[in-house]
A and B are shown apart, each in its own frame.
Chain A
């Protein structure tokens, strides 16, 4: 009996939850008060069909938020950080955050690498050690 009930209720529940979250999703791209085409929409118009693009874009933003959390960013900061990214930057980060260079300026100190870098520093190819001029 309970199983039967659950089988009926759970798809309904899923459907309602999904529908409930849709308006919030749909309202994210800020449309102007009037019906004018926004500059951002016009610039992206030359690419793919708009609706599919917009959904992918929203998913990518979700994805980047998750990735930032995994990178140790405070949950309170994540949303505002992703909101300031452009669409193109979002898809870059969604696809390749792990390979992206992160400016940090500390080198992993391996001895062999130390020697190679010392030589290349002297040649002027690198600038790792401040004592090499």
Chain B
């Protein structure tokens, strides 16, 4: 290889640049390839031991439904719903979530359809650990992938049924094939394009491990809106068992118990809600009204006074109730 003298380079900077430009170009290519390959690297999983998950997990007998045409959404839902005990086939699900002109299904309607089938949809936290934890807990997970690149997206729903950290593989019911092993690196690259969207459909009373308290709370509340408080009472019980300090969890449980005519139990739950968050005016208000119904006037009055003293959305209602139930004697 020709090596120009140092002096030459200093005096003729222009010519000195030319051969280097080529090297730089090649370097750039190699670097960008490496960078691309870097994106597809196996995701780092913060020690499985700490998460308490095994090196391998495989959920046996998750029902498989092959998709036809564009029906990967309905097919994926049919698999998790049947696994959770709802007997339904793809054809019955299509009119509930398929968008004919888009030839596909969108995420909100995936969740809505699960609610209509009497199951609670939970969107997991967007990371690989949550996914693996949930699989290790024997709950199959619907994942959304973009199998292609953002320039020509190929959105796809599949159902994860297991993983193997030694082999760096994830197992999926996908497209026309059950239990396909896919390299964890490829899966991670395709899954990251949907912001790592993952969902489970569970019967009331179950909560997946890979989820935050707030996400679980709104999932249960949204399902309750469709299915009713009585149906969802086991979910509220499970929520406060897992996060005993969550005031809104106790509040939801109170309403569910009230709806199933357990007034004393409801009052207890509202009491816990006010204990964990004394600023929760709605809980004081509901506590007061429930206690009034139970004939415990003294405590009812105190609770309503607490509600009326807290500024916010419920203050006016609380004042009205207080005045109506406990009219002030004329001085």
Residue numbers of A with Cβ under 8 A of B are 30, 32, 34-43, 45, 49-50, 68, 70-74, 77, 80-81, 83-86, 88-90, 92-93, 97, 100-108, 110, 113, 116-117, 120, 123-128, 130
Task: Give the chain B neighbours of A125 by CB distance below 8 A.
Answer: 36-37, 39-40, 149, 186, 189
Q: How far is the CB of A107 from chain B (nearest CB, A)?
A: 4
B222 touches A86 (CB 8 A): yes
A102 touches B105 (CB 8 A): yes
B221 touches A74 (CB 8 A): no
A97 CA to B67 CA in the complex, in Å? Answer: 23
Stretch at the interface among B17-25, B46-54, B283-291: B283-291
**Out of A37, A83, A124, which one reaches B314, CB within 8 Å?**
A37
- Which of A36, A88, A97, A105 counts the most chain B CB atoms within 10 A? A105
B106 touches A100 (CB 8 A): yes
Q: How far is the CB of A109 from chain B (nearest CB, A)?
A: 9
Residue numbers of B with Cβ under 8 A of A are 36-37, 39-40, 67, 69-70, 72-73, 76, 95-113, 115-116, 144-149, 151-157, 175, 182-183, 185-187, 189-190, 194, 217-218, 221-222, 224-226, 229, 248, 251-252, 255, 258-259, 280, 282-283, 285-286, 289-290, 293, 312-314, 317, 321
Can you spell out 14 A-B residue pairs with CB atoms less than 8 angstroms apart? A34-B289, A39-B224, A41-B282, A86-B218, A89-B112, A97-B106, A102-B73, A105-B72, A105-B156, A107-B148, A124-B40, A124-B183, A125-B189, A128-B148
A72 CA to B317 CA in the complex, in Å? Answer: 44
- Which of A37, A45, A108 counts the most chain B CB atoms within 10 A? A37
**Out of B98, B100, B152, B157, which one reaches A108, CB within 8 Å?**
B152
Task: Give the chain A neighbours of B104 by CB distance below 8 A.
Answer: 101-104
- Which of B95, B225, B251 counts the most chain A CB atoms within 10 A? B225
Binding site secondary structure of chain B: helix
**Out of A45, A68, A128, which one reaches B312, CB within 8 Å?**
A45
B67 touches A105 (CB 8 A): yes
B152 touches A50 (CB 8 A): no
Known: A72-B101, A113-B151, A125-B40. A85 touches B108 (CB 8 A): yes
Task: Give the chain B neighbours of A89 by CB distance below 8 A.
Answer: 108, 111-112, 222
Task: Give the chain B neighbours of A50 by CB distance below 8 A.
Answer: 313
B103 touches A102 (CB 8 A): yes
Q: How far is the CB of A43 from chain B (nearest CB, A)?
A: 6
B106 touches A93 (CB 8 A): yes
Task: Give the chain B neighbours of A113 by CB distance below 8 A.
Answer: 148, 151-152
Known: A89-B112, A105-B72. A123 touches B40 (CB 8 A): yes
Task: Give the chain B neighbours of A37 by CB distance below 8 A.
Answer: 282, 285-286, 314, 317
Q: How far is the CB of A72 from chain B (nearest CB, A)?
A: 3
Task: Give the chain A neighbours of B106 by CB distance below 8 A.
Answer: 93, 97, 100-103
Task: Give the chain B neighbours of A39 by CB distance below 8 A.
Answer: 221, 224, 229, 248, 251-252, 255
Task: Give the chain A neighbours of B39 by CB distance below 8 A.
Answer: 125
A19 CA to B183 CA in the complex, in Å? Answer: 61
Task: Give the chain B neighbours of A103 by CB distance below 8 A.
Answer: 72-73, 76, 104-106, 110, 144, 155-157
